[in-house]
Amino acid sequence: MSGSLRAPFLAAANRERSHHTPVWFMRQAGRSLPEYRAARGEGSILHAIKRPELAAELTLQPVRRYGVDAAVLYSDIVVPAHAVGFGIDVAPGTGPVAPDPLRTAADLARLRPLELDDIAYVIDTCRLLVNELPAEVPLLAFAGAPFTVASYLIEGRPSRDYVNTKSLMHNNEPLWHSVLDRLADHAITFISAQLTTGARAFQLFDSWAGALSRADYDHFVLPHSRKVFTTLAERHPDAPGIHFGIGCGHLLESMYAAGPRVMGLDWRTPIDEARQRLGADTVVQGNLDPALVFAGSAPMLESAADILSRNAGNPGHIFNLGHGVMPTTDPGLLAQLVAYVHEHTSNPHGAGNG
Amino acid sequence: MSGSLRAPFLAAANRERSHHTPVWFMRQAGRSLPEYRAARGEGSILHAIKRPELAAELTLQPVRRYGVDAAVLYSDIVVPAHAVGFGIDVAPGTGPVAPDPLRTAADLARLRPLELDDIAYVIDTCRLLVNELPAEVPLLAFAGAPFTVASYLIEGRPSRDYVNTKSLMHNNEPLWHSVLDRLADHAITFISAQLTTGARAFQLFDSWAGALSRADYDHFVLPHSRKVFTTLAERHPDAPGIHFGIGCGHLLESMYAAGPRVMGLDWRTPIDEARQRLGADTVVQGNLDPALVFAGSAPMLESAADILSRNAGNPGHIFNLGHGVMPTTDPGLLAQLVAYVHEHTSNPHGAGNG
């Protein structure tokens, strides 16, 4: 990177100082933006993802609007399972639905390995984006972690209790590990294809892993998520990986042990507490409660100030919400939040160190 | 209690040994029991609660069927708000719904103080029950904690993000505290009426408090829940109180600081870890994942053995699930679980110490 401007996102992921603390938002490309609603149309997100020009435009909208420090590929965690023909779609207003859920070894046949040809449209979208994005705004790939994707395939729809998932896990451990191993390979192939085509970092979403006890996470899930991070670190050593889940405070040490460069936090785990538990040098991402953006400017900025204070100037901080942007969020508030974080972490000597 | 048999539940709540570790299940009176479905009929639970003979019968069914060590009054956390005419019902299959949610100071007028006359049917049910229950099976009262009840009144329906609740909390702090103070008084009046009529312990359900950061819990919620425990401890010093919420591991110290005798745990916080954090003498309740009962006998008993092992013979343990019984649970498995815990904690010298 000598001589060029180090992207703040990549600097923070490597605990190096840059212009400012980088900011991006999970689900920053979404219904909170009027330009998104105008371009997106109706129907399943999986159809929009298959149109590279549209997917690239939706990826770029929040970069233009907010001045965020990363572009997140417009995608969905069920894309690989959908692409291999498992039989899963995303129903608007509901979420992922699989009419014929995965319950027996025979169902595993519908979850064949992912080939690059299956996701040609994703690779095309990445190609369009790397030509459009400025050097200081890296493209992020993401994928669902094996547990969270498995929960959708097994439950057949969004769940609150994950009973079928836990039942399969405890009653048919060989099948469970076969499913998760296959899904780990899906995530590796999916993310690796994007990193090869120009994405420069990635996030693994284990959104619902918090439903598990730590003992169950360690035994049934951790080996598979570790395989994703380990394999990607070998193939793409310069691409930092982020690990994130909701309500995963009790799993923090285990999820960090899976091998991410960056630990994503929801709003329930304060940054300073996470570093006490994981080590003072830990790079963290987060973690403003999205409901406080909905609540308005004053609660939002008060919480942002608290987060920056808890970070205490540590260069290893990527600012984000603690969960995805809510569809009813006022985009003006998110723009204000980006400006606030940039202004209050501005470091005129931070450039050119990369 | 000299000379009489000390109820295992009350012994454990006071860290005294008795015959065995006591067991009860949250939502033990419910749809998992065929005799419940036969007696209950259709319609809102609030109507069934208003029929003392029926409510007493539904309370007694799981005591007969399972041999549990406590009877939990058949009730609902929205009974007090319903009883004062706020305008809230429980829709079968959905949960609490308030067509005109609490959003402004004017709505507070619909949440007048609770009078004993409002809950005459609850007191009648308690009277019936204390004549029926054996001395070793105490009747438990319960109420919703101020935050969780407020979330239903403010959202108007079950929520995943509590945005309206958090918005009111942060944007109108005086109204927030007025609402929670009123709801704390409701809980006190409701529980106190049952303790006066023969209930011998109580549980405060703050089921959804885990949606809050600890800073928000401490500032906006803790003072009100503490008022409930403190006032009830003054009025009914012999009645132990239990504090419980889902996904509240990050709030454990704060919820314990509210003043319960017993800390209820969901399956995400192992008993031994809770005692490390709260003190070795802490009386805990829990904490088997209800999904593992659904998963079948082997996973259920394996988890039960792990919980008893983590408790390591501490007399301050009340066995329970980590959340309510799921409606699809096989009642035969719950009976097996009660027998397993009783058998594996049997203490022939434990009786008569009370």
Q: Is A272 annotated in the active site?
A: no
Amino acid at B275: R
Cβ A167–B214 below 8 Å, yes or no? Answer: no
Is A71 in a helix, a strand, or coil?
strand
Residue type, A181: D
The Cα B219–Cα B241 span in angstroms is 22
For residue B349, the model assigns a pLDDT of: 66
Confidence of residue A332 (pLDDT cuts 50, 70, 90): very high
| Distance, CA of A86 to CA of A83 (rounded, Å) | 8
Contacts of A265 in chain B (CB under 8 A): none
CB A333 within 8 A of CB A38: no
User: A300-325, pLDDT tens digit by residue?
Assistant: 999 999 999 999 999 999 999 999 99
CATH code for the domain of A216 = 3.20.20.210
Residue A152 falls in the annotated catalytic set: yes
DSSP state of A324: P
Which residues in chain B show pLDDT less than 50?
A: 1-4, 352-354
Q: Is residue A161 part of a domain?
A: yes
Do B170 and A247 count as a contact with CB atoms less than 8 A apart?
A: no
Could you tell me the pTM of the whole model? 0.95
What's the pLDDT score for residue B350? 58
Looking at residue B351, its pLDDT comes to 52
Cis amide linkage into residue B287, ω under 30° from 0? yes
Which of A21, A54, A28 is closest to A39 using CA atoms? Answer: A54
- Give the domain range for residue A46: 8-344
How many alpha carbons lie under 13 Å from residue A15 in its C-beta half-sphere? Answer: 10
8 Å CB contact between A92 and A44: yes
Contact B154, B102 (CB under 8 A): yes
Hey, how many other C-beta atoms are within 10 angstroms of the C-beta on B128?
A: 18
pLDDT, tens digit (0-9, with 9 covering 90-100), for A46-78? 999 999 999 999 999 999 999 999 999 999 999
Active-site annotation of B, residues:
27, 31, 40, 76, 152
CA-CA distance, B310 to B317, in Å (whole number)?
A: 11
A331-344 and A52-66 helices cross at what angle (nearest 10)?
Answer: 60
Give the Cα separation of A334 and A29 in Å (integer).
12
Name which of B249, B290, B292 is nearest A249 (Cβ-Cβ): B249
Inter-chain CB proximity A250 and B268 less than 8 Å: yes
Tell me, yes or no, whether B271 lies in a domain: yes
- Among A161, A306, A326, whose Cβ lies nearest the Cβ of B163? A326
State the nearest Cα–Cα gap between B210 and chain A, in angstroms.
Answer: 8
Q: Is residue B220 part of a domain?
A: yes
Q: Output the pLDDT for position A352.
A: 43
Task: Name the pairing type of β-strands B201-205 and B139-144.
Answer: parallel
Q: Which pLDDT value is given to residue B99?
A: 97
Within-domain flag for A354: no
- Which chain B residue is nearest to residue A209, measuring alpha carbons? B268
Confidence of residue A2 (pLDDT cuts 50, 70, 90): very low
Q: Are B49 and B73 in contact (CB under 8 A)?
A: no
Are B102 and B179 spatial neighbours (Cβ–Cβ below 8 Å)?
yes
Q: For residue B87, is it within any domain?
A: yes
* pLDDT score of A5: 56
The interface predicted TM-score of the complex, written ipTM, equals: 0.94
Mutation site for A-interface testing, chosen from B292, B297, B330 by largest number of A Cβ within 10 Å: B292
**E runs forming strands in chain B:** 71-72, 89-91, 95-97, 139-144, 201-205, 241-244, 262-264, 283-288, 317-321
Residue A249 lies in a domain: yes
Q: b or e along A190-220 (b: 16 or more beta carbons within 10 Å of the residue's beta carbon)?
A: bbbbbbebbbbbbbbbbbbbbbbbbebbeeb
List, for residues A259-276, the tens digit of each pLDDT value.
Answer: 999 999 999 999 999 999
Residue B286 contacts residue A305 (beta carbons within 8 Å): no
Residue B295 counted as domain residue: yes
Query: Can A157 be counted among the known catalytic residues?
Result: no
B51: number of Cβ within 10 Å: 16
Report residue A350's pLDDT band, with 50, 70 and 90 as the boundaries: low
Report yes or no on A266 lying in a domain.
yes
DSSP helix/strand/coil, B191 = helix
**Contact of B111 with B220, CB cutoff 8 Å:** no
Predicted confidence at residue A168, as pLDDT, reads 97
**Model confidence band, residue A348 (pLDDT cutoffs 50, 70, 90):** confident
Active site residue A31: yes
CB neighbourhood size of A38 (10 A): 9
Domains of chain A: total: 1
